[in-house]
Structure formats: C-alpha cells, structure tokens
Amino acid sequence: MNIFRLFGDLSHLAAIAILLLKIWKTRSCAGVSGKTQLLFAVCFITRYIDLFLHFVSLYNTEKVMKLIYISASVFTCYLIFFKFKATYDGNHDSMRAEFLIVPAAGLACLINTKFDAIEILWTFSIYLEAVAILPQLFLISKTGEAETITSHYLFAQGSYRALYILNWIYRYHYESHVDTIAIVAGVVQTILYCDFFYLYITKVVKGQKIVLPA
C-alpha cells in the first residue's frame, strides 16, 4: 500500500459517502444518473465476485472495503430506483447503458490476462468502470447544470482513479509491478473527467455553480 492508493481509496469512499448523503439529506436524486450508479454496482459485484465464491472471514480491511463498496452502491441504486424514484430524472438519464456494457464485455473476452471466468469478469469490470461515468456526464450536459454537492461527488470520484495512476507509477518504479489493463482503462477513465475537472477547478472552487453552455 502506498500513499497514492490510500488517498485514492479514501477519495472513492468519500465520493460514495457524498452521493449517499446528498440523496438521503435532500431526499432527492435529481441530477444523479441512476444508470451510472447501476454500472458502478455491476463493476463492484463482478470485480469482487471472489467475496461470494470462497467467503473468507473478514480478516483484513480489503475485504471490508469490498463489502462496503458493494453494499453502498446497491443501497444507492435502491434509493434512486425505489425509495426516491419520484425524483429520478429518467428523461435526462437517457444514455443507452447497453452501448457501454456490450463493448466492455466483448473487449474483456478479447483482451484479457487469462481466459478464465473470474479474470474475464475482473477485466469486464475494469473496462466498464472506465466508461461508467458517461451517463452521469451525459445527464449533466443535458440538464446544463450540476448541483454543487454533485460536483463534489464527481470530483472525488474522478480523483480516485487519477490517484491510482500515481499509485501505478509508484509501483512500476519501486515494485516493478505492471497491470497494463488496469492502467490503460484507468487513464481512459481519468481523461473522461478532464473537461469536468477544468469546470470544477475554475468554477466550483470559486463558489460558483457549474452551468454548461446549453
């Protein structure tokens, strides 16, 4: 474990917590893409499938973190699609998730480290995570604005994988560790946030709201 991965995981936890708090406190999921949250839930379940297969006692923080990610993302989907369904902005959350899932699944079958079920699921989860934020960014571009709290969520969510890139550079240099698939997907994922990062740094930090040119 290095400082970059530690802060990356903390940033990821913060993002999940910020979103849950936003929905729970405002009792509304306006401005939140349910599809992106569904995709994240799928990512966690397919990536941490080993938790279900050979359940080992929660002997380390990693197992606990995996369970937190899975349960928090499923609970977030429950809030969006059931509890606060009336506030779900289905009209604007209109990006076809199939256009993200099918290519990720196909690519996972073509480009992977080992052609076995667990590895294919892990690879699918990595590819899907890289594009899972697209419905959320698409929704913001459709509505033309993002609530400040949602911007903080997106900043934490984008920072997590950006910090992982620093972690991979660190591990390449000090541990000769290379996980090419995770690195390439992580770079693509972070690039998708660049536009938002620019808006966040120039606007939200100054206390303004993000309003996209309609």
Partner 1 sequence: KRILTHHDEL
Two structure tokens written together for 176:
């000769």
**Binding status of residue 66 toward partner 1 by CB under 8 A:** yes
Scanning 17-25, 30-38, 130-138, 176-184 for contacts with partner 1 by CB under 8 A, the matching segment is 176-184
- Tell me which of 40, 153, 155, 164 binds partner 1, using CB under 8 A: 164
Over its C-alpha atoms, the chain yields an Rg (Å, rounded) of: 17
Residues 22-61 that bind partner 1 (CB under 8 A): none
Residue 57 phi, psi (nearest 5):
-55, 150
Subset of residues 94 to 113 that bind partner 1, contact rule: CB under 8 A = 113
Phi, psi of 89 (to 5 degrees): -90, 70
Min dist. Cβ of residue 175 to partner 1 (A) = 8
Give strand pairing partners of 146: 210
Is-contact 48 70, C-beta < 8 A?
yes
CA pair distance 44, 79, nearest whole angstrom: 18
| Nearer to partner 1 (CB atom), residue 69 or residue 88 | 69
Among 178, 191, 194, 211, binds partner 1 (CB under 8 A): 178
Question: 72 is written with which tokens?
Answer: 């928090």
Pick from 3, 27, 58, 62 the residue near partner 1 by CB under 8 A: 62
186 close to 165: Cβ distance less than 8 angstroms: yes
Contacting positions for partner 1 (CB under 8 A): 5, 9, 12, 62, 65-66, 69, 113-114, 119, 122, 164, 167, 172, 175-180, 182
